């Protein structure tokens, strides 16, 4: 499978999000210099050929909501993976003040 440069960069940035933290689709797009491309980031992550290796479960909506997850069992699996990493998920959302990862 050949990745586009865009998808490869999305996967590289997603891989930088440490265990126990989350980032947003918009933050990844902004880090790429494409602040309006959050949906494209989501589309790239939906096609992630190596979930867990590229931890797309660590990417959430700006409000902390657990957006779609392409792996088996969907959002429930995403919540389970985050909880296993120490991220509290309550009512389908992550506390962004506590768990947000930002690039420096």
Point out the residues that are catalytic. Answer: 56
Mention every residue, 6+ apart, whose C-beta is less than 8 A from residue 68: 42, 46, 74, 75
């Amino acid at each position: 499978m050949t990745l586009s440069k865009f998808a490869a960069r999305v996967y590289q940035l997603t891989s930088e999000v440490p265990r126990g933290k989350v980032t947003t689709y918009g933050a990844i797009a902004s880090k790429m210099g494409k602040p309006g491309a959050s949906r494209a980031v989501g589309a790239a992550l939906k096609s992630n050929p190596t979930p867990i290796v590229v931890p797309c479960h660590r990417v959430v909506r700006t409000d902390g909501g657990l957006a779609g997850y392409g792996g088996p069992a969907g959002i429930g699996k995403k919540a389970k993976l985050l909880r296993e990493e120490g991220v509290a998920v309550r009512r389908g959302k992550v506390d962004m003040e506590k768990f947000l990862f930002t690039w420096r």
